[in-house]
Amino acid sequence: MTAHAAGTIVARFELADARFEVEPLRAQLLRDAAGAYASFEGWVRDHNDGRPVLGLRYEAYAALASAEGRRIVEEAVARFAITGVHCVHRTGDLAIGDLAVWVGVSAAHRGAAFDACRFVIDEVKSRVAIWKHERYADGDLQWLHPEPAAAGSTDEPRGEGAR
């Protein structure tokens, strides 16, 4: 048989303080039992909220972020029929077009691969202790502290600490 026969289910979450290659990580998710692979790549875009963005920095509370990230990929294994899941999130300074976050999922069938991939990126965005600091073309800087989706509060202190 092949090197990818059966084996335990991969469930990994990592922070990376430098650029990383996706292909070797993807290769580690291959299994003979996997008929599907789905991935998500989050890239740094050149605008946010209508403002031109020059670049950004991600700051993490590494101990907490790593622990919560591991919890999320383990939840994905428990909830979906997948054979492997891996998420890597950048920290530090990033330029436009840089890869900020990658999620890869392998599964027997595409439905579980897509669903688990979506689950992981959504949960990472809402639960993992990482903050984005954006640098704008007009010279302004800002930490992003988004409102929870369900909250209706208007006293948004999201620009606190800016400038």
Q: Which residues bind other proteins (CB under 8 A)?
A: 42, 58-61, 63-65, 67-68, 89, 100-101, 121, 124-133, 143-148, 153, 155, 157, 160-162
- Specify the residue, 111 or 146, whose C-beta has the smaller distance to other proteins: 146
- Specify the residue, 9 or 75, whose C-beta has the smaller distance to other proteins: 75
Q: Would you put residue 83 in left (φ > 0), alpha (ψ -120 to 50) or beta?
A: alpha
Task: Check if the beta carbon of residue 35 is closer than 8 Å to that of residue 113.
Answer: no
